[in-house]
Chains A and B, each alone.
Chain A
Amino acid sequence: MTQPRIFQFGDAALVCEAPAPATLACQRRVWAAAAAASDWPHVLEVVPGMNNLTIVFDPLEADSAALASQLQAAWEAGGDAPAAGREVEIPVQYGGEFGPDLQVVASHTGLSAEEVVQRHTAGEYVVFFLGFQPGFAYMGGLEEALHTPRRASPRLEVPAGSVGIGGEQTGVYPATSPGGWQLIGRTAAPLFDPTRTPPTLLQPGDRVRFTVAGIDA
């Protein structure tokens, strides 16, 4: 495993960044280091990114040099054993009014709409990290045959629960927002609910399977 670069960002954050490319093995180290760091005193936030980890600390209480050494040690100790991610099923109503771009993905990939759905539900996706919106998961694992470019002009309003494909990624929009992904379906699963603990359906390290709640091809 290549050594990461650990550096301070601003006066209240430290970043631990592994060299590209991002791999699942490397991301497991990110999660392991994140789990360790969340217990350290004066550490306020531990935020995994793609191939990197940022910790936000109390700049008056914490010793950033000591934290950097701890981070280095946690990275080395982390190993790349599978993290204890949960398996989460997300039922999706594919196509029709809920998946207005299913045909677009079908014609781009040269597959039938049914085949797109079959392949999308066959995959196991890993949550690398969350960002963009509360509960929005950046997932790896979309098979290459389904890669489809984003829409030329983003929609101003993508409904909450929309399941989409954007380039090499697939994901679910937790809240209504503008968005440029190709929408192939929609789920009623609550991706983000601030009244629940934890508030998000998905967490870093989780493995996701999409299931067919219905299909309108």
Chain B
Amino acid sequence: MIDVIRAGLLTTVQDLGRHGYRHLGVAMGGALDRLSLEVGNRLVGNRPDAAGLEVTFGPTVLRFPRATRIAITGTEFGATLDGKPVYSWWSLPVQAGQELTLQAARRGMRGYVTVAGGIDVLPMLGSRSTDLAGQFGGLGGRALRDGDRLPVGAPSARAGRGFSPQAPEFGVKAPAWCKFVLVHEPLRRGRHPSGVPWAVPIRVLQGPEYEQFPAAAQEAFWSDEWLVTPNSNRMGYRLAGTELKRTRNTDLLSHAVVPGTIQVPPNGQPIVLLSDAQTTGGYPKIGAVIQADLWKLAQVRLNSAIRFIPTTPQEARQALVEERTYLRQIDAAIAMHEERCARQPAVAAL
């Protein structure tokens, strides 16, 4: 059980999403920064697809009535456990009754709190993710509220002594790219005196309607900075910048859209679709964010800027391979921790 003392701006139960139902209009959902959730689950001995809490911005306070093990990944919150500072990307033992306080995110946008055993709400259509628009999944199909109690599952049988509440804390390295987002983010919109744009680079492949945009619009798409407007949510980032108008406004028949789709409605201001987006759309698609950069995009704060970097399918694939390599490094680090804990005599219960 976890007691939600203070839910914060938007905290939801999320796993790696709902798969195989898009043809029935059911969105994928799931953690927007899935890499952070995957690492968080590894740090507490869970399967990578266990459910955790996606904390958007914070501030959030959680109380753990029972001793357990938790991790915070994604953004830096200036987190404290009973007032004592704790690190993100660490596996932390928690004693019964301890309170975790997450301040408002200092940088980045979303953090993940994972707990040994995972958040054990009833799976719906194969996932515990909250579908806010569909109002199902997660806890009652809604964001958490102050006073909620969350069920926690039994720790995974394969999680060894290294994940017990008595085992020492240990950390892993954050994804290299995470630092990049976090360093760039506070600088907000604008240019460095050297003329180098600060906007966070996001790698993009051309979309099927790219050629329908005139050369000037194509040029602006790649060279301009795009402001992530406050009118953005888990369904999509609404961007503001140069107006992108097509040469001819021919209608498109409805088609499937996927997270990462960059569509351009008639007002010429692009929208990047995220995990909770509808399954079909009708706007022209100027591009698609590569899978490996979706989690980076999810950490870009509202009112900051991004840039689109042209890439190739080969580079997109290589970026995913690098992501898998990083996760294997995390697995190796965790295996070493477990080995160390297994060699030491059992900690006597107090």
Contacts and interface: CB of A to CB of B under 8 A. Distances in A.
A131 B280 contact: yes
Interface stretch (B5-13, B193-201, B312-320): B312-320
A104 interface: no
B137 interface: yes
A49 B258 CA distance: 13
Contacts of B173: none
B125 interface: yes
Interface residues of A, number: 44
Query: Most chain-A Cβ atoms within 10 A of its Cβ — which of B21, B27, B290?
Result: B21
Interface in B120-158: 124-125, 131, 133-137
Given A9-B285, A131-B254, A194 B291 contact: no
Interface string A9-22: 11111010100101
Contact of B23 (A17, A47, A133): A47
A8 B26 CA distance: 22
Interface stretch (A51-59, A141-149, A207-215): A51-59
Contacts of A52: 253, 255-256
Interface residues of B, number: 42
A47 B288 contact: no
Contact of A11 (B135, B261, B317): B317
A46 B23 contact: yes
Interface in B314-334: 316-317, 320-321, 324
Contacts of A60: 317, 320-321, 324
B134 A133 contact: yes
A129 interface: yes
Given A11-B316, A59-B317, A135 B256 contact: no
Contact of B288 (A10, A22, A138, A200): A10
A134 B125 CA distance: 12
B216 interface: no
Nearest to B314: A11
Interface string A57-68: 001100010000
A13 B125 CA distance: 22
Contacts of A139: none
A11 B20 CA distance: 18
B125 A129 contact: no
Contacts of A13: 256, 258, 288
B205 interface: yes
A49 B280 contact: yes
Contacts of B255: 15, 17, 49-50, 52, 54
B230 interface: no
A9 B288 contact: yes
Given A9-B285, A45-B20, 6 more contacts: A9-B208, A9-B288, A52-B253, A60-B320, A138-B254, A194-B26
Enumerate the 8 nearest inter-chain pairs by beta-carbon distance, A residue then B residue, closest first: A131-B280, A10-B288, A54-B256, A47-B256, A49-B255, A11-B316, A50-B253, A130-B25
Interface of A: 7-13, 15, 17, 20, 22, 34, 44-52, 54, 56, 59-60, 64, 129-136, 138, 175, 192, 194-195, 198-200, 203-204
